[in-house]
Amino acid sequence: MNPPVEPASGLIACPDCDLLNREHAIPEGDRGCCVRCGAVLFSNDPRALDRALSLTIATVFLLFVANVFPIMIFSYAGQSESNTLLDGVFWLADGGLQLVALLVFLTSIIFPILRTGGLLYVLLPLRAGVSLPGARTVFRSVSSIEKWGMLDVYALAILVTVVKLADLANATISTGCFALVAAAVLMIATSSAIDRRDIWRRLVVLR
Amino acid sequence: MSTGQTARRAGYCSCEVCELLVAVPEPDLPRMECPRCRSTLHLRRPNAFSRTVALVIAGFILYVPANLYPVMTIELVGRPDPNTIFTGVKELFQSGMWEIGLLVFSASILVPLLKLVGLSYLLISVYRARRGARPGRKLRRDRTRLFRAIEFVGRWSMLDMFLLSMLVALVRFGAIASIEPGIGATSFALVVVITMFAAASFDPRLIWDDLEEV
């Protein structure tokens, strides 16, 4: 096993073009970019962890509401029917589209929950100055499933449905939908708030 | 500030997950683990070029049935109406909802195609650079940007699948008599997944690797 280079040495390899950049002092709120290809390499935000954590906690509650309460209420010919996130998955599978159902299930329910739960497991203890067992594995997995959580895309799909069905049936959005849209926005905000370099540094120090 | 050389040339490997710089004694070690996050270290993503080629070809092949075959056949009181992705978009335009139609058209038809074409362009340009073509810095920068855009935009193609999952709700209360799933839907889902994997298997560092001086 090779000795790891101290992160303090201040060298950063650009993930997009492999150029070795030197980390330098930047003003608060600024970002350091690769001099050759322009990729964002590091940032200076002392409150990044606080922000990411508070956004994550809020997302936990919103995800709960989004998954339990109906997303939409359809009324047609005097009767009304509501659907939750999970209903859509079951109805797709019922209709013979198992692969699509699985994909929708994973991207709209499982991955957002895993990601948010995983972040909470890593960030909350980190804020308190400790690190729980397996925190590195959890954070690694969270980073890799990030782009597979697609609540934001789902939120757009709801918008399209409401407009499209306006004349065919009376579709109104419901409690779950508001929570879902809010959760989607917060998850995007969380992604941009997270300072991955800082979190990995902390995870090592606490080991 | 730059050090004036690439990590590989300087004898370092950067962990793709946690960005730790690890000194590599030899350029081609069989299997190394990142000491910080325990993920496997690669100087470049393994077989990036050929994997991406294979996935892009698969994506192009599946793009055809995804657009030609109906995603679903909706039966409105005895009148079966096979819906491809394109007819769905057309209906939106005809009923005056061109904003929504444009949105669905971009996400479902344009984005997957641009992703496949964009990745093909990147693959061809990497291949040509290996054969001695010398693209300028600005061009390489633009290509790297193109790759970032492809990575970013890919997930939005799932829009149509989510639309489907809400449309099936209509059957439940009789606004639509029945919905027959078509092979278009499964092909389309596969296009989305495969193009996302294709973007993830490509390594943007290949765009820069043939550059001698930094």
Q: Measured between alpha carbons, how far apart are the two ends of chain A, in Å?
A: 18
pLDDT at B21 over 80: yes
Contact B43, B26 (CB under 8 A): no
φ/ψ of A42, rounded to 5, equals -150, 165
d(CA B148, CA B123): 15
- State the virtual CA torsion across A37, A41, A44, A47 in degrees, nearest 10: 130
Domain boundaries, chain A: 1-44, 47-205
* Confidence at residue B25, expressed as pLDDT on a 0 to 100 scale: 74
* Confidence at residue A24, expressed as pLDDT on a 0 to 100 scale: 85
d(CA B101, CA B91): 8
Per-residue pLDDT band for B27 (boundaries 50, 70, 90) equals: low
Q: How far is the alpha carbon of B211 from chain A, nearest alpha carbon, in Å?
A: 10
φ/ψ of A173, rounded to 5, equals -80, 155
From the list B14, B141, B179, the residue facing A38 with the nearest CB is B141
From the list B8, B104, B162, the residue facing A108 with the nearest CB is B162
Residues in chain A, total: 207
* Confidence at residue A103, expressed as pLDDT on a 0 to 100 scale: 93
DSSP assignment letter at A122: H
Q: Which residues of B touch A36 (CB under 8 A)?
A: 2, 137, 141, 208, 214
d(CA B122, CA B40): 26
Give the ipTM of the model, two decimals please. 0.87
Task: Read off the pLDDT of residues B88-111 as tens digits, 9 standing for 90 and up.
Answer: 888 888 888 888 889 889 988 999
Token pair listed for B177: 């008599």
Q: How far is the alpha carbon of A40 from chain B, nearest alpha carbon, in Å?
A: 11
d(CA B69, CA A152): 27
Give one word for B132, left, alpha or beta, with left for phi > 0 and alpha for psi -120 to 50.
left
- Assign B44 to helix, strand or coil: coil
* Confidence at residue B36, expressed as pLDDT on a 0 to 100 scale: 86
CB atoms within 10 A of CB B132: 7
- State the virtual CA torsion across A24, A27, A30, A35 in degrees, nearest 10: -30
Task: Work out the mean pLDDT of chain B and round it to a whole number.
Answer: 86
* Confidence at residue A168, expressed as pLDDT on a 0 to 100 scale: 65
Residue listed under structure tokens 């350091």: A32
Question: Which residues are registered as beta bridge partners of A81?
Answer: A74
* Confidence at residue B163, expressed as pLDDT on a 0 to 100 scale: 87
Residue A91's Cβ-side half-sphere holds a number of Cα atoms within 13 Å equal to: 22
Contacts of A105-109 with CB under 8 Å at 24 or more apart are A106/A148, A107/A148, A107/A149, A107/A150, A107/A153, A107/A154, A107/B158, A108/A150, A108/A151, A108/A154, A108/B162, A108/B165, A109/A67, A109/A85
Predicted structure pTM score? 0.89
* Confidence at residue A1, expressed as pLDDT on a 0 to 100 scale: 42
User: Between chains, do A13 and B185 touch, taking CB under 8 Å as contact?
Assistant: no
Contact A71, A177 (CB under 8 A): yes
User: Between chains, do A87 and B179 touch, taking CB under 8 Å as contact?
Assistant: no
From the list A74, A94, A99, the residue facing B186 with the nearest CB is A99
User: Between chains, do B169 and A197 touch, taking CB under 8 Å as contact?
Assistant: no
Token pair listed for B172: 């439940």
Each residue's pLDDT tens digit in chain A (207 positions)? 444 555 447 889 999 999 999 888 888 888 899 999 999 998 888 899 999 999 999 999 999 999 999 998 877 777 777 888 998 899 888 878 888 899 999 999 999 999 999 999 999 999 998 889 999 999 999 999 998 999 999 999 988 888 877 666 677 888 999 999 999 999 999 999 999 988 998 888 776
- Residue partners of A92: CB distance under 8 A and separation at least 6: A98, A100, A101, A104, B164, B165, B168
d(CA A88, CA B106): 24
* Confidence at residue B79, expressed as pLDDT on a 0 to 100 scale: 65
Task: Read off the pLDDT of residues B188-212 as tens digits, 9 standing for 90 and up.
Answer: 999 999 999 999 999 999 999 988 6
Q: Which tops the pLDDT comparison, B38 or A65?
A: A65
Q: Chain B within 8 Å of A201 (Cβ-Cβ)?
A: no
Contact B3, A11 (CB under 8 A): yes
Give B36: exposed, middle or buried? Use CB within 10 Å, 0-12, 13-18, 19+.
buried
CB atoms within 10 A of CB B78: 6
User: Between chains, do B166 and A79 touch, taking CB under 8 Å as contact?
Assistant: no
Sign of the torsion formed by the C-alpha atoms of A205, B1, B7 and B10 = negative
List for chain A the helix, strand, coil content (%; round to 5): 60, 15, 30
User: Between chains, do A140 and B173 touch, taking CB under 8 Å as contact?
Assistant: no
The residue of B31, B74, B161, B207 whose CB has the most chain A CBs within 10 angstroms, and thus the best one to mutate to test that interface, is B161
* Confidence at residue B77, expressed as pLDDT on a 0 to 100 scale: 61
Contact A134, A151 (CB under 8 A): no
